[in-house]
Chain A
């Protein structure tokens, strides 16, 4: 187990290294610089700025410097938010994004699994077809379409919920729904498919024959087995939540990491963009690792390799 974890951690290093290198050169080779957007600066000041942020050095030197900083966990200063480092910005924005993302994930998992199981238990009934058509609709409506539609109905017309910002729990309702609905629908479809297969298998028939009540049958026997494809979907789901949060945070004006990324990219805030990309890269790797552990726990046939 520990050996496996160490192996995975070592395996992540080349991935992160490639990610860093690609992102670094992609950003630096593009025309334009972080101080272009502002009013025309006097050349001396621009030269000073460039010197301060080491932008006047040759590219390979900057790359080496950046690698060295990253190796020590220092993401560098932000170009846009002059008084803050990227580390501080990430520390600021990440808890907000994490809360939003986790809530969406839990919402999607809970309702997705519940609805999928219900549909599987009543396979080919009207309820099943209805649920699955709704699920398909949920998969087909992008979150950035759902979000403004919800704002229109719940905030503008009805005034039940605040349209944006952060405050009480009411502020989280629409973002969580917007971010989680497509995933919930997808999980419902996955759960239904695998649940139908599991319910037909021999060990369920045995359990039924023993006279096990439905509740026990479902929760102790069927669900763990049916969750395997859902768990392997959690990896891509997390990546989806992360990219989705970029739009959702922008629409609802939530000061999270996703919004920093968009603003950073538009302002050519090199270090902020790099920091967010790297941070998210690490996050995805860590999450995939957790998913693999879960997978092995649910399905005893899977061994740590």
Chain B
């Protein structure tokens, strides 16, 4: 890094934005230390409260703009959950809504320049995915008992194929949390890192206009990704929940 800076005047530190730092100085990071993670997660909570609680304060029959946003978010997740899992799934609406709200608000807040993207960290998304995985697995066994294992026994396939399919199904079941978490963190991290790399190129005057255009384009894409990844995470959660509620194929 040092030699590159000396040579071309270019400084690429695309990963520095993801560093976890203590808020009040020091270098120790204990589990309780208030860090930039704390700050930006707190801001996420604040934004959620602002839109969903303060925004819906009017309880108007004809909604204000903020209330419309709150209602649209509510309606979208509610409909998604009902469409996929049916009426029985609506019991878990607050959990699914919590996940969706956290991810979508964290993603959008992470798009503020110089902010810290909490959802770009695999530790965060892995916990989210593991919560879903463990919750769904436990729920599946509690609701269906041993019948839940029928999820892995494809009864519509020919008998000789079933053991093979069972192995594949079990593997795919355990890969779920991995893909679930890496998809979200990877998308967010990659987009932010690419923007940072383009920003590094802006130091060269000749390339700067192209670089700025590229940053603009990437930013637009990232806005899409922020919403789509939250949507994908939530819809997969609904699908897994459906498997737990109705394990038959």
Real binding pair: no
